[in-house]
Amino acid sequence: MITTTGLTKVYRSGDREVTALDGVDLHVREGEVYGVLGQSGAGKSTLIRCLNLLERPTSGTVTVAGQDLTALAGDQKRANAALRAARSHIGMVFQHFNLLSSRTVQDNVELPLEILKLDRCERARKALELLDLVGLADKAKAYPAQLSGGQKQRVGIARALAGDPKVLLSDEATSALDPETTRSILQLLRDLNRRLGLTIVLITHEMDVVKTICDSAALMKNGHVVEQGTVAELLATPGSELARELFPVGGEPSGADRTVVDITFHGAAATRPVISELARTYNIDISILGAAMDTVGGKQIGRMRIELPGRFEENVVPIGFLREQGLQVDVADAADDEPDNEPAVPAPAAAPLKEGAK
Ligand SMILES: Nc1ncnc2c1ncn2[C@@H]1O[C@H](COP(=O)(O)OP(=O)(O)OP(=O)(O)O)[C@@H](O)[C@H]1O
């Protein structure tokens, strides 16, 4: 539904240049909720604003619903009209709602319909229908100042839906809201995604938002997308930073001469007694440093951090055993055991070794 290739944005002011996006290749499938994460300054807002060409990319392409928006973004009048038409199918929701305080709720929602030149009756009908969809039918005549933050964001969402968009872009839509209101807005977005088949790209810095509604996510750093995929793919990627942040499991090793292993249990594997089997089979003492169960992307996932006595090279066989059980196993670096110094050790038949070492 949305593809960017080699998307680059360089801001220039005087002789200073800031590369906010540096060759971003993004792929958002139709009908999914896609989260973009990253620290402040990573380029998230620039990316989302480039998706509807509010920000003109310096180079690269943006394709939305099969249409290359970058090709429409010429200076000629015809191209601009075509871009405006394409944009009307992309809604945008903002962190601070951006409502006009002098207009009623209904008039705020009607604004994009005025730009689309719908007649008065049609505008009113559509605005009331949208307000009903977001649960605010009774607030049509209220002014923004009379609404709570969550209600204001619902108006922002209704306004974003006015052009019957296929895509909704959300720039930190919930970060100005309290946790309960955040949950209800996320629920509304998920609902709209399912009922209208809406593709949603949202920027967030909250892992809970990703856990609650995202099908896929990307992590940005310094203008690059450094990880992206479905939540399940990310959780199954050894060493994934997003997976670790989505599902943190702490615990420090008790000494230098230990091997720390993070195990992720998906589905049926979560209920098998693999740790006691491991202890019995190899006659080793296993310490559990941390453990957590959670629902991520609608699926039950378990994670455990264990400690095995001895260095990595002494634990090759037990680690191979865990992998043979179909578990995802990430071996953490021991404090005194840099990856570069790891000895080459033969792999057991069914499992790659130390692929997840970070
Ligand atoms: N209009 C602009 N002019 C110059 N530099 C800009 C402009 N907008 C953004 N930048 C710079 O581009 C980089 C990326 O900014 P951007 O706002 O996209 O990051 P972000 O990940 O959204 O950050 P935040 O989470 O703080 O909003 C930053 O270094 C920022 O200072």
Q: Distance, CA 19 to ligand 1 centroid (Å)?
A: 9
Q: Distance, CA 55 to ligand 1 centroid (Å)?
A: 12
Q: Is 44 in the pocket of ligand 1 (CB under 6 A)?
A: yes
What values do phi and psi take at 321, rounded to 5?
-60, -45
Question: Measuring from atom 5 of ligand 1, which residue has the nearest CA?
Answer: 11
What CATH number should be reported for the domain whose range is 248-341?
Answer: 3.30.70.260
Question: Measuring from atom 7 of ligand 1, which residue has the nearest CA?
Answer: 11
Length of the chain, please? 358
Q: Is 11 in the pocket of ligand 1 (CB under 6 A)?
A: yes
Q: Distance, CA 44 to ligand 1 centroid (Å)?
A: 8
ipTM value, please give it. Answer: 0.97
Question: Measuring from atom 25 of ligand 1, which residue has the nearest CA?
Answer: 40
| Amino acid 14: pLDDT | 86
Per-residue pLDDT tens, the chain, 358 aa: give them: 999 999 999 999 888 999 999 999 999 999 999 999 999 999 999 999 999 998 999 999 999 999 999 988 766 555 578 888 888 889 999 999 999 999 999 999 999 999 888 999 999 999 999 999 999 999 999 999 999 999 999 999 999 999 999 999 999 999 889 999 999 999 999 999 999 999 999 999 888 888 889 999 999 999 999 999 998 888 878 788 888 888 777 778 888 889 999 888 876 666 678 888 999 999 999 999 988 877 766 677 788 899 999 999 999 999 999 999 888 888 886 444 444 333 333 333 333 333 333 3
Q: Is 20 in the pocket of ligand 1 (CB under 6 A)?
A: yes
Q: Distance, CA 18 to ligand 1 centroid (Å)?
A: 9
Classify the C-alpha dihedral 157-160-163-165 as positive or negative: negative
Residue 283 Rama label (left phi>0; alpha psi -120 to 50; beta): left
Domain regions of the chain by residue span: 2-235, 248-341
pLDDT digit string, tens, across residues 22-68: 999 999 999 999 999 999 999 999 999 999 998 999 999 999 999 99
Q: What is the DSSP string of 60-72?
A: EEEEETTEEHHHH
Question: Measuring from atom 12 of ligand 1, which residue has the nearest CA?
Answer: 20
Ligand 1 atom nearest residue 13's Cα? 4
Instruction: Give the Cβ contact number of residue 233 at 10 Å.
Output: 15
Instruction: Give the Cβ contact number of residue 302 at 10 Å.
Output: 19
User: Are residues 66 and 30 in contact, defined by beta-carbon separation less than 8 angstroms?
Assistant: no
CB within 8 Å of 298: residues ≥ 6 apart: none
Ligand 1 atom nearest residue 223's Cα? 14
Tokens 């578990």 locate to: 327
Q: Distance, CA 139 to ligand 1 centroid (Å)?
A: 35
| 3-state class (DSSP) for residue 67 | strand
Read off the amino acid at residue 293. M
Ligand 1 atom nearest residue 38's Cα? 21
Q: Name the residue of 13, 16, 44, 206 whose CB sits within 8 Å of the most ligand 1 atoms, as the mutation to test its pocket.
A: 44
pTM of the model: 0.82
Q: Distance, CA 172 to ligand 1 centroid (Å)?
A: 14
Question: Measuring from atom 10 of ligand 1, which residue has the nearest CA?
Answer: 20
- Residue 307 vs residues 118, 156, 331: alpha-carbon distances, Å: 66, 50, 10
Q: Is 42 in the pocket of ligand 1 (CB under 6 A)?
A: yes
Q: What is the DSSP string of 301-342?
A: EEEEEEEEES-GGGSHHHHHHHHHTT-EEEEEPPTT--GGGP
Q: Is 46 in the pocket of ligand 1 (CB under 6 A)?
A: yes
Q: Distance, CA 351 to ligand 1 centroid (Å)?
A: 43
The mean predicted confidence, pLDDT, of the chain is: 86
pLDDT digit string, tens, across residues 127-160: 999 999 999 999 999 999 999 999 999 999 999 9
* Top-level class of domain 2-235: alpha beta
Q: Is 41 in the pocket of ligand 1 (CB under 6 A)?
A: yes
Q: Is 38 in the pocket of ligand 1 (CB under 6 A)?
A: yes
Question: Measuring from atom 3 of ligand 1, which residue has the nearest CA?
Answer: 11
